[in-house]
Structure 1
Amino acid sequence: MSGFERPDVFGDVHLGYVVIETQKFAEWRRFGADAIGLHVDDVDNSSMRFRLDDHESRFLLQNGPAEDVVATGWEVDSHETFDEILRRAAERGLPAVEGSAEDAQLRGVERLWRLPGPKGIGQELFTRAVTTESPLSMLSSGFVTGEAGMGHVAITSREPETLHAYYGTLFDARLSDWIDEAISGVKLKIRFLRLNERHHSVAVANVRTVKIDPIRTRVQHLNIQAATLEDMVGSYERVKATGFDMALSVGQHTNDRELSYYAMTPSGFEWEVGWNPIVVTPELEATWEPTTYQGISIWGHTPVGQTVVDKLAQFKNAVRNGRAPEITVPELSGAAR
């Protein structure tokens, strides 16, 4: 290897867990267990965990006022890749801090390090998840995790290029495609970034022509993938039956062909449960070319229960968010290599 060649870490990084700060534990318990159908474990008086599989923790809920996602945890396949990512951060002056043993235990992981992330979402790296043989108590038969990670995170941004550069520089993210969408007269551009065989682990949306962010929360939605169509439809019916608000009805996306719906979480961001998205296999990867799609859905995904009050709230959020600069990571805001 010459001095100019760098190892490519694409395929070695997977979404492993999400940390949510909330004070609405009772509502989140109902949402996670009774509506979505996840396994719930109480850790202590100030934290609760959701499981999807044999990992001890996939969602860590901790007591705090944010009502938002505060960190995403990325599983790294090897210590060599882990060191390469930390080297990239150090080379660009991005501070990395080792997590405490207590924090690692809460997250059910080994070798935990933290990096500052876009929009104030902490980026946490770990090399191995702690697994458990404790049986799952879920209303769903299962969820798709494995080599594709556990799902994806979608973020709205006034500075989408900086997010693209961030994930491109650290994780060698590849652009899957774009979607152009018009919602209530607002034109959106959404870019979809893949880190492995999952069509996208990060989606970044921005309002075209003007720098506004209509979303109060740091994330717009989280996604998990149901194992079967029956699981996805069953959770949709439970969300309605338990009285949680639905954001978008069942529909199919244009780009990754995933069937899904979007529910409103107790903290105010959306939660997508999907089924059967495209997997970017090595054969597809070899010839993949980014495409621009018009509209997010082939069919369905109809807005549910939106009112004039909801639209006014979004406008107020956009105005408020526009008064302060968006949190970016200057060290990684340039073009991705």
Structure 2
Amino acid sequence: MVKVTELGYMGFNVTDLNAWREFATKCVGMEIEEGDQDDRFYLRMDAHHHRFTIHQSNEDDLAYTGWRVSGREEFEAMQQQLSDAGVEYRVASEEEADERFVLGLLKLEDPSGNPTEIFYAPQVDVMKPFHPGRPMHGKFLTGDQGVGHFIIRSMDDEAAYQFYSLLGLKGSAEYKLKLPNGMMAKPTFMNCNDRQHSLAFGLGPMDKRINHLMLEYTQLDDLGIAHDTIRQQGIDVAMQLGKHSNDQAYTFYFATPSGWLLELGHGARHTLKDQEYYVGDVFGHRPEAKGYGMDIDL
């Protein structure tokens, strides 16, 4: 079975490009790569040409996610794997692959209609060192662990599990959480490398395709500086600083200019060999600003 190796890139539709320029650089520390099209710009976290594409749009939501396979052979094997499972996909044109700065690209949708892409061979600009948008003590944790993790909208959690298992991710429910509406949520967390999870779903109804995206710093000081910056800017903090039980990361959640959440963190442990579940976090993560889908008492 061929497997994806990392969450390699993501695209976002936004209504305010300038707000995202300020937010991504000054608050988070990413670097802008302008490109040659006025309706988009790119964000760097490392030596890759980009990890995120920010598209001008009349909506604010996730546009697509890109999952990487190791190479051409795995790319071709994945096509056969999808076909054998009856999953529809399209091999993108060379021009479409060029838009993503990859050599090969598949386009498909997960069972909830979330645009999904599978690619190989991204452009890596080793001659162009990453320059953070604000001073940083360390860097972003990427490499073999990919860009981070995200929670995606799921209309059918079992169908989502089967779909992403087909791509090579694995995992299970890791929390039992009581939601404000009285429902008991058992969100599923799935991994494809040493990052404790790259994908999660099962938090109940969501207005947008994405609830939050998590990025990790290699130095605790950068997390603290980001926290101070967000507070000073008066940006809504949806969940206060705390430590997760599952990945053991120190994190906090706050609003992006598009109304979904960004989680910044440090110190996550690697994927466990044996699965566990939890009913709360180590400390913190108290809900603060409401209405972002994280009104959960961890």
- Asked if TM exceeds 0.5, the reply is yes
Alignment check: 8 A CA contact 1:265 1:271 kept: yes
Quick check: 1:217 aligned with 2:208? Answer: yes
Q: C-alpha displacement at 1:142, in angstroms?
A: 1.0
Q: C-alpha displacement at 1:36, in angstroms?
A: 0.8
Distance 2:250 2:258 in 1: 24
Larger helix share, 1 or 2? 1
Deviations 1:7-40 (A, max 9, x none): 3x34x52100001011210111111011111101
Distance 2:175 2:238 in 1: 19
Distance 1:50 1:189 in 2: 33
Deviations 1:110-164 (A, max 9, x none): 2112112233221111111101122333123311111111111112434111110
User: SS at the partner of 1:238?
Assistant: helix
Alignment check: 8 A CA contact 1:22 1:64 kept: yes
Distance 1:94 1:26 in 2: 38
Q: What is the aligned partner in structure 2 of residue 33 from structure 1? A: 25
Distance 1:56 1:120 in 2: 27
Instruction: Choose 50-59 or 180-189, whichever is displaced more.
Output: 180-189
Q: What is the aligned partner in structure 1 of residue 221 from structure 2? A: 230
Distance 1:93 1:153, change over 3 A: same
Higher relative contact order (Cα pairs below 8 Å, separated by 6+ residues): 1
Distance 1:53 1:118 in 2: 31
Aligned partner (choices 257, 262, 286) of residue 302 of structure 1: 286
Quick check: 1:20 aligned with 2:12? Answer: yes
Q: C-alpha displacement at 1:176, in angstroms?
A: 5.2
Aligned residues: 289
Name the aligned partner's letter for residue 156 of structure 2.
E
Instruction: Choose 103-112 or 216-225, whichever is displaced more.
Output: 103-112
Q: Between the two proteins, what is the percent identity of the paired residues? A: 27
Q: What is the aligned partner in structure 2 of residue 135 from structure 1? A: 129
CA RMSD, Structure 1 to Structure 2 (Å): 2.1
Rg larger in structure: 1
Q: What is the aligned partner in structure 2 of residue 104 from structure 1? A: 97
Alignment check: 8 A CA contact 1:160 1:206 kept: no
Alignment check: 8 A CA contact 1:176 1:200 kept: no
Structure 1 runs of 4+ with >4 Å offset: none
Q: What is the aligned partner in structure 2 of residue 169 from structure 1? A: 166
Distance 1:60 1:278 in 2: 28
TM-score by length of 2: 0.90
Aligned partner (choices 191, 196, 200) of residue 197 of structure 2: 200
Alignment check: 8 A CA contact 1:14 1:149 kept: yes
Q: C-alpha displacement at 1:177, in angstroms?
A: 4.7
